[in-house]
Structure 1
Amino acid sequence: MTISIKTIPCLSDNYAYLIHNERIGETALVDAPEADPIIAEIDSSGWNLDYILLTHHHFDHVDGVEKLRQIYGSKIIGNKNDSKRLPNLDIEVTEESKLVICGQEVSVLDVPGHTIGHIAFVFPGAAFTADSLMALGCGRVFEGTFPMMWNSLQKIATLPRDTMIYSGHEYTLSNGAFALTLETGNPELIARVEREKEQRNKGLPTVPSKLDLELRTNPFMRAGSPEMKTIIGSPDMSDEECFAEIRKRKDQF
């Protein structure tokens, strides 16, 4: 990978991501929860901010956009089909769009569920999934339906297994605690939660995570497995039914 990615903690538990290609001197940001920590990182690096990529319209992902745009003249990229709820977009994208950002070919995935207009940006080896697929979890289903969110996660699951997943929040320990209520005897899950606790004890992010690890330990990604269906209710239930029940339980956790 010829780009570097910096994780920037924002607000109480959000993450923004700075992507930089040193060779061509181009920098992009995925989501802008607040401006000041992002400005501090950009200025300390001596970079400009060429693009801001927005995954969805929630305030804790866009509140810093206007201040950043005013300072750096950044071009704002977001979902054409949700443009009325996003800050003014310079580049409107759909799932058919092909972008070149920081010298990398970037594709767009429609991943509705958390919001109807949620999208993910996929760079070579890195997927910025925000509040769709998260480390050991997934976003709440606010605007879509459970089958819609399940289908979005399955779309992400088709990416190469070594893809690094950059999600929008530091929810991993809470997600892990919930996952352990379902699979108390999953040794890989138990080991992962212990590793994530060590990361947080050191003050370090638990993201990104590798897609392959999510497929093996994230209960939402395992909703199609016979083992998870048996835990949740019946091996005969559909994938969507199993996912919906897991999401409902997590909402009450």
Structure 2
Amino acid sequence: MHVVPLPALADNYIWLLHDDEGNALVVDPGEATPVEAALRARKLALRAILLTHHHNDHIGGAAALREVYDVPVYAPDDERIAVATHRVKDGDTFELRDPSAHFQVMAVPGHTLSHIVYVGEGVLLCGDTLFSLGCGRLFEGTPAQMLSSLQRLASLPGNTRVCCGHEYTAANGRFAQTVEPNNTALQHRIAEVARLRAAHQPSVPVTLSSELACNPFLRVHSDAVIQWCHQHGAANDPVARFAALRSAKDAFQA
């Protein structure tokens, strides 16, 4: 299965997955035009649309695509996603014949209460829950919910490719460096991202093992993150440590 990030809007990625026979699916099409252009350029047939949450920059193009291609739309059970044809929930699995793909659904409340991710074909299609070197803002959920969601994702195989919804990695890296300035793996990842972005290349997908080594929001039990949290008055409880990290990131400017 080929995995292609399609830049959209200001800094979104729409994820295009396709096989060698020309069958494709898209994840979180915030707009239709990049998808249609990619399908034409690669001579692909759209077979399904997968949605992770209700924000318009992730679903804004789904209705227009479905009008043209008449394909199933998988989405969480959220009335704010009117375009859905198949409602899926935590623990569901489903298979697509064209392209041949099998996905598991995981509920990951935090960014929104109904946010889901899709895991399959060696990829984690995670919307705005997990970013490279960061995580999503808490618009509807609690720190405890988001930390639990991230810990579920952290338990996936290390070679899983993380396919997130935005190109935030460089900015996330600047914050992560303030938390773990001596993290060698983080320093290498920041340098890698700088090279990729200078060449106008996406910084994702990235392996989950890389994120486990570099992303402070997945490292609330590491000594360096605990030390940083202690300096910010939140050392004893993992949820409090996560909340302190998220609050600091919300206010971070660099």
TM-score (norm 1): 0.95
Q: Secondary structure at the match of 1:85?
A: coil
The 3-state SS of whatever aligns with 2:30 is coil
What pairs with 1:220-235 in structure 2 (closer than 5 Å)? Answer: 220-233=217-230
Q: Which of these residues, 12, 15, 18, is aligned with residue 17 of structure 1?
A: 15
| Matching of residue 88 in structure 1 with residue 83 in structure 2 | yes
CA distance in 2, matches of 1:98, 1:179: 34
Q: Give the drift of 1:177.
A: 0.4
Compute the displacement of 1:226 (Å). Answer: 2.9
Structure 2: tracts of 5 or more residues without a match:
none
Indicate the residue corresponding to 2:4 in structure 1.
6
CA contact (8 A) 1:165 1:208 kept: yes
Distance 1:162 1:96 in 2: 21
Deviations 1:121-143 (CA, angstroms, capped at 9, x unpaired): 00131000110011000000110
1:236 shift after superposition: 5.1
Aligned to 1:60: 57
Q: Does the alignment pair 1:237 with 2:236?
A: yes
Q: Is the 8 A contact 2:234 2:241 kept in 1?
A: no
Aligned-pair RMSD on alpha carbons? 1.3
Whole-angstrom distance in 2 between the partners of 1:206 and 1:21: 22
Query: 2-side partners of 1:223 and 1:205: how far apart?
Result: 27
Relative distance call for 1:249 and 1:191 in structure 2 (3 A) is same
Identity across matched positions, percent: 37
- Residue 214 (structure 2) aligns with: 217
Aligned twin of 2:104: 107
2:181 corresponds to: 184
Residue by residue over 1:70-98, the C-alpha shift from the partner in whole angstroms, topping out at 9 and shown as x without a partner, is 11112111012x1x011321111111211
**CA distance in 1: counterparts of 2:85 and 2:234, whole angstroms:** 48
**SS of match in other structure, 1:49:** strand
CA deviation after TM superposition for structure 1 residue 224, in Å: 2.0
Q: After TM superposition, give the deviation of residue 105 of structure 1 in Å.
A: 1.6
The answer (yes or no) to whether the contact 1:49–1:73 under 8 Å persists in 2 is no
The residue identity in structure 1 corresponding to 2:240 is E
| Residue equivalent to 1:252 | 251
**Runs of at least 5 residues in structure 1 that lack an aligned partner in the other structure:** none
- Kindly tell me the number of residue pairs found equivalent between the two proteins: 248
How far apart, in 2, do the equivalents of 1:235 and 1:75 lie? 45
The amino acid that maps onto 2:88 is: V
- Aligned equivalents of 2:151, 2:95: Cα separation in 1: 25
Cα distance in 1 for partners of 2:82, 2:202 equals 28
Deviations 1:88-127 (A, max 9, x none): 2111111121111321221001011000010000013100
CA distance in 1 between counterparts of 2:187 and 2:121 reads 30
Rounded to whole Å, the distance in 1 between the matches of 2:55 and 2:184 is 36
User: Using the alignment, how far apart are the partners of 2:136 and 2:164 within structure 1?
Assistant: 10
User: 2:85 is aligned with what amino acid?
Assistant: D
Paired with 1:20 and 1:62, the residues of 2 have a C-alpha distance of: 20
How far apart, CA to CA, are the structure 2 residues paired with 1:163 and 1:63? 27
TM-score normalized with structure 2 length: 0.94
Question: Which amino acid counterpart does residue 10 of structure 1 have in structure 2?
Answer: A
